[in-house]
Amino acid sequence: MIRARNPLLLLSGASLLLATACTDPNYNTGTGTDPNQRTKTGAALGGVLGAGLGAMVSDDKLKGAVIGGVLGAAGGAVAGSALDRQAAELRQQLDNDVQITNTGDRLILTMPQDILFDVDSTTIYPGLRGDLLTVAQSLNDYPDTTVQVVGHTDSDGDAGYNQRLSERRANAVADVLLQGGVPSSRVRPFGRGEDQPVASNLTAEGKRQNRRVEIVILPNA
C-alpha cells in the first residue's frame, strides 16, 4: 500500500496547481470558454489542500488524506460555484463601465472614479447609486463573504491629500452599500492613495485607469 509519507508534497502540489491557474491568460479575466472554471479550480485546489492538511493531523495519514481531500474539494467547489454565479449575475446587472474580475478566490469590481465622482469630490453621482445598490443586493444574496472597498488615485498633487481623498471616496462607496442593507461587520473601507497604480501615471489614459474604487468580495473561510 502506498502511504502519504510527506503531506507537504501535497501542499506543494496545491501551490503548483494555483500557479498554473494564475498563468492562464483567461484566469483573471473570467473570459475563458468554461463558465464553471472557477468552480473546478476551487474543487481541485481545495481537494489537494484538504488532503495535505488531513494527512498532517490524522494518526492514520492515508485515511486522513482521503477524508481531508473530500472535505477540501467540497468546500472549494462550493466557494467557487458561488463566485461563478455571483460574477455572472453582476455582469448582467451592472453598467459596462464596471469591470468584474473573478480570480477564483475573490471577485474584484473596479469602478473608475470618473464615473463615480466629480473632480476632487466625494459625492457619488446619482446615476451610479443604482449600480452600487445592485451590488449591495448581490452581497445580501451571497452573505457568506466579506467586502473590502479600496480607493485609489493617480499621482497628481500631494500624496497626503491623495491618500485622504482615496479614503473618503472608499467610505462614500461603503456608505451606499450599508444603506443597501449590507451589515457593517462585513464591509471594510480603506484608501491606498497613489501607492497601487495599475497603469502609468505619465499618460492621461494611465491616470484615468489609476483613479478607481475597487470592491473586493472575499468568501469567508
Region 16-25 average pLDDT = 44
In a 10 Å sphere around its CB, with 0-12 CB exposed, 13-18 middle and 19+ buried, how is residue 87 labelled? Answer: buried
Q: Is 83 exposed, middle or buried (0-12, 13-18, 19+ CB in 10 A)?
A: buried
Contact predicate 172/122, CB 8 Å:
yes
- Greater model confidence, 180 or 13: 180
Residues 6+ apart with CB under 8 A from 108: 99, 100, 101, 214, 215, 216, 217
Is residue 11 within 8 A of residue 19, CB to CB? The reply is no
Q: Note the pLDDT tens digit of each residue in 147-197.
A: 999 999 999 999 999 999 999 999 999 999 999 999 999 999 999 999 999
Which grid coordinates belong to 122?
466625494
Q: What is the pLDDT of residue 148?
A: 98
Pinpoint the residues of the chain covered by CATH 3.30.1330.60.
Answer: 97-220
Cell output for 159: 500624496
Beta-strand relationship, 145-152 and 187-191? parallel
Question: Which has more confidence, 60 or 116?
Answer: 116
| Contact of 191 with 167, CB cutoff 8 Å | yes
Q: What is the pTM of this model?
A: 0.68
Model confidence pLDDT, tens digit, residues 36-91:
555 555 555 555 445 454 555 555 555 554 444 444 444 445 667 899 999 999 99
In the predicted model, what is the mean pLDDT of residues 86-104? Answer: 94
* DSSP letter, residue 123: S
The DSSP symbol for 124 reads B
Express each pLDDT in 196-208 by its tens digit: 999 999 999 999 9
Which three cell numbers mark 211?
483613479
Q: Rounded to an integer, what distance in angstroms lies between the CA atom of residue 178 and that of residue 133? A: 9
The DSSP code sequence of 48-62 is HHHHHHHHHH-SSHH
Q: Is residue 216 pLDDT above 70, yes or no?
A: yes
135 or 32, which is more confident? 135
Of 165, 98, 91, 174, nearest in space to 133 by CA: 174
The verdict on domain 97-220 having CATH code 3.30.1330.60 is: yes
The predicted model gives 131-142 an average pLDDT of 97
